[in-house]
Structure formats: C-alpha cells, structure tokens
Structure 1
Amino acid sequence: MQLYTRSAGGGLPVVLLHAFPLSSAMWLAQREGLSAVCKVITPDLRGFGGSALGDDEPSVDVMADDVVRLLDREGVDRAVVGGLSMGGYVTMALCRRHPDRVRGVILADTKAEADPEAARANRERIAAAVLDSGTSVLVDEVLPALVGRTTAQRRAMVFGRVRGLVQSAPPGAVAWAQRAMAARPDSFDTLRGLKVPVLVIVGEEDELTPPAVAEAMVEAVPDGRLAVIGKAGHLSAVEQPEAFNRAVSGFIAELAAGSPPHG
C-alpha cells in the first residue's frame, strides 16, 4: 500500500493529515504558507485523493503505519506529525505505535475519546448508505457541521470548495474510514505519555469538537499549548488558513529553537 503525498519547502519535516471525508487538497494554503518555515508533507490517507484503499481491515492504526512507511520512503527519521479531525485520530495512533518517530504533535479540531455506541452506530449507518447510494448523504449530513457559522454565512467560495471536496470522496474510502474511526480506542493515555511538545488548535465555532474538548487534550499532555482560531468551525485550517498557519509557524519556531517544556 502506497500513500500519495505532496511536499513543499525545506527544513523541519511537518506531516499534516487531512480530515474526513476530504483529501490532502485541503492543505493547499498550508503547503504554500508554511513552506518558508518547514518541509510540509501532506499525504492522502487510504483511498482518498491519489492513494489506493487496499484490502486491510479498517483501522486508524493501519493508517498510522502507512504514514510511518511514507516517512521511511522520504528518509525522515523524526517529524512533527499533525492532523485535523480524522487526521488527528491517525496522529494519536501514530504517537501510540511509533513514538520514536515524533518530534512534536499538532492536534487540530479533533478529540481523544473513543466514540460512544450511538456515534459508532451512526458511522456504520453512513458507511452503508454511501456504499449503497453514493456521497449525497455526506452533503446532507456531514457537510453542514464541517464549517462554522461565519463561513456558512459569509464565505461562499470556501464553503463551495469544501462541498466539492466532500462530493469527490470515493465511497469505498468513506465507508472504510468511517469504520476505522468507529473502532478507534480512547487516546487519553497516549496523550498523557507524550514526551514531545503538543499544539492543540480549535476553531472557536467548532461544534463537532468544541474548544472545551481541545482544552481537555491540552490538560492531558505534559507539554501542551492551545490556539483558538476565531471565526472558524471544524475545518479551521481551511476556513482561516492565515491564523492557522501563524499558530503552526510559532510552534515550529519554538521546536526549532529547542525551547524548554512548559504547559
């Protein structure tokens, strides 16, 4: 299984893992805006964008192992690894399985707790519906919660771009990813055991993983800091890319300078 990846810039390697049900295309503004301060690596997770789905059983652990194989191919020993939403789940799985490969962690608009039973059942329902009828169910049920109220009301071009990415998601990858996310474990023990700095980012209008969820993750890690992105919802990197990039750039500068732990 091979991940399709795009890279930009040089310096400290930073892997950014995309949200469900998007692709690495969501990171366009990060590849452009962060390339002056780091090497931005943006893979397509299994089945999305340019990546093959393969035959493995659905699991965030499988996706995490994919990313480590990508690092091996890129000749990267340790990287800052981050992700938004589903990408955050994969990031936490990578931290659990391959802690020696992680230089720092970025968790954006995501959560550490496992799904309750009702949420798992809903993921399975959506997986089955997409396989049966295509991605229209995502436009009706998933898309509205992906962006904040400011974007929905005032940024028609951004909303249209997100809608296009959602509509282009392959049904097989959507179902596989939903089942992988439904099966993921609680990751708070993983967060408590991290020995590297962590940046948690959240949109102030994120209703799926609101600021209180982000604050709980910051409190769990030994060395954490929180960035709240104003007028952004769940896709903070897409809705407010300049503010998101400023938060990441500051974190990268801190890591590069070898600042002592705090938080």
Structure 2
Amino acid sequence: MTELPLVLLHAFPLDARMWDPVRAPLAERLRLITPDQRGLGRSPLPETDREPSLEDAARDVVALLDRLELEEVVVGGCSMGGYLALQVLKIAPERVAGLVLIDTKATADTPEAAENRLKVAERVEAEGVKGWLADANLPNLLANEEPADRVRELIDAQPPAGVAWAARAMRTRPDSLDLLRETDVPGLVIVGEEDKLTPVEEAGKMVAALDEATLVVLPGAGHLTPLEDPAGVVEAILGWYA
C-alpha cells in the first residue's frame, strides 16, 4: 500500500486548507491529494437542477482521479469528507484500495439532525456565513481553543451557496454500515476521544463493520483531529500505511 496515493477530503464547513498541519509530513512519505469539495474553497458549484447529493460530489472525486490518471487510491476524509469517501467507495469500489475515516460515521442523520441541516442551509442562503456559522459550530468541532481562530477563518471564507449545498447533501446521505460490511478493503479509523459529533462509539461501529480495520483514539482531541492533534493523525496514517 505504500505506493498508493492518499486522497483526503475535508470537513464541513471548511476547505482543503484544514489539512495544512498534516500536509508536509504526509507528503514527504506519499503522494497526497487534497481537493476542495464542490462549492467550497476554490472549487466551483456546478449549475444543476439536481437535488444536492453526496453521490454527485463523489463523482467529482472520481473525475479528479480520471484526470490524474490514478486507477486506485486510498480515500480518506474527516467528518463530511468521511461521508464523501464512503460514497466514492459506493459508486467506484474498484478505485478504492483503502479507507481512512477520521472523526466521521457511517450511519445516516437522525430526523432531528437532518432538520437542523436544512435550517443551516436556509439561514446561510438568507444571511451568509459570517457572524454566526463559526460561533454555531466551534463548540462542537473543537475540544481545545488553540486552533479556534484558524477554524473560524476557514468557515468565514466559505461561499454561502456551497455551504448550503453541502448541508442539504449531507442530510440525505444513506446509512453506509452495510457498504462497509460488504467491502474487503482495509480501513483506518481515527477519532478524537472528546469528539461530540461523531464519538468513539460511532468509530467503533465502523471498525466492527470492516473486515480489516485499525482504530486510533486520540486523547484530548475533538472533532477536528487533523487541526487539534496533527502529529497524532500523521503518526496513525503513516503507521497504518507501513
């Protein structure tokens, strides 16, 4: 697996710059690809009448692999990026040689969570993101204050239309535990010990569903372990690759 490129997909409502703290040490050892997801960061939001769906975002990832002429990669993601990685596995299993699932889950939204995502989408469309979205998310995203300013900066930089699209896409995603049960690719599951949004219990469900899985729990970290404990994330990924 050491020669396989690693595609890392970012969390909501951020962009690929969330990987900056882990980028250099990972890139020293393997080919690292960190795209912005559609409508976020520098990635445009395609004009379409289709309902927002993570399957369409997964097709973006597969199209990127085609452009880069990569037949097979390890696909990973944090939070929403993990949901998207699972959709890539669903639509193009032949392209996925391994999974790195960071502070994410394979279960679908509860009705309450789905309703909250719709409210976020509607408010973002009405008011934009600045002045409230970071404040609403930071208490659940981080277990410590150190990266808070950077996370706020990234959230405030996101295009409202892309944030709304992503929120709507996440609320309709399917349960993917059966997908994990059916795959034979190895998986690395990383979770912050104090992750409130996708807790250790959810990580355990993914580990149990996979035939070959490694679980790494990072003490003192919350939902954004690549920003809160980048050294721990790098060590877990490189150790698993080795």
- Structure showing greater relative contact order (alpha-carbon pairs closer than 8 Å, 6 or more residues apart): 2
Q: Provide TM-score, normalisation by structure 1.
A: 0.88
Identity %: 47
C-alpha deviations, 1:56-78, integer Å up to 9, x for none? Answer: 43111011110011011111100
The 4+ residue runs of structure 1 with deviation greater than 2 A are: none
d(CA) in 2 for partners of 1:55, 1:186:
27
Extract unaligned runs of 5+ from structure 1: 1-9, 254-263
Amino acid at match of 2:5: P
Instruction: Say which is worse superposed, 130-139 or 92-101, in terms of deviation.
Output: 130-139
RMSD over aligned CA atoms reads: 1.1
d(CA) in 2 for partners of 1:17, 1:134:
23
Quote the offset at 1:216 in angstroms.
1.1
C-alpha deviations, 1:76-110, integer Å up to 9, x for none? Answer: 10000000000000000111111000111011101
Quote the offset at 1:55 in angstroms.
2.1
Amino acid at match of 2:207: V
Counterparts of residues 188-203 of structure 1 (less than 5 Å): 188-203=177-192
d(CA) in 2 for partners of 1:169, 1:231:
28
Q: Provide TM-score, normalisation by structure 2.
A: 0.96
d(CA) in 1 for partners of 2:118, 2:170:
10
Amino acid at match of 1:234: H
Provide the residue aligned with 2:69 in structure 1. Answer: 75
CA contact (8 A) 1:11 1:37 kept: no
Counterparts of residues 211-250 of structure 1 (less than 5 Å): 211-250=200-239
C-alpha deviations, 1:188-227, integer Å up to 9, x for none? Answer: 1111011110000000110111111101110011111100
d(CA) in 2 for partners of 1:170, 1:204:
31
SS in 1 for 2:34: strand
Amino acid at match of 1:235: L
CA contact (8 A) 1:27 1:237 kept: yes
CA contact (8 A) 2:103 2:192 kept: yes
Amino acid at match of 2:151: V
Amino acid at match of 1:144: P
Provide the residue aligned with 2:171 in structure 1. Answer: 182
CA contact (8 A) 1:85 1:110 kept: yes
Quote the offset at 1:185 in angstroms.
0.5
Provide the residue aligned with 1:35 in structure 2. Answer: 27
Correspondent of 1:23 among 15, 19, 32:
15
Extract unaligned runs of 5+ from structure 2: none
CA contact (8 A) 1:202 1:234 kept: yes
Provide the residue aligned with 1:14 in structure 2. Answer: 6
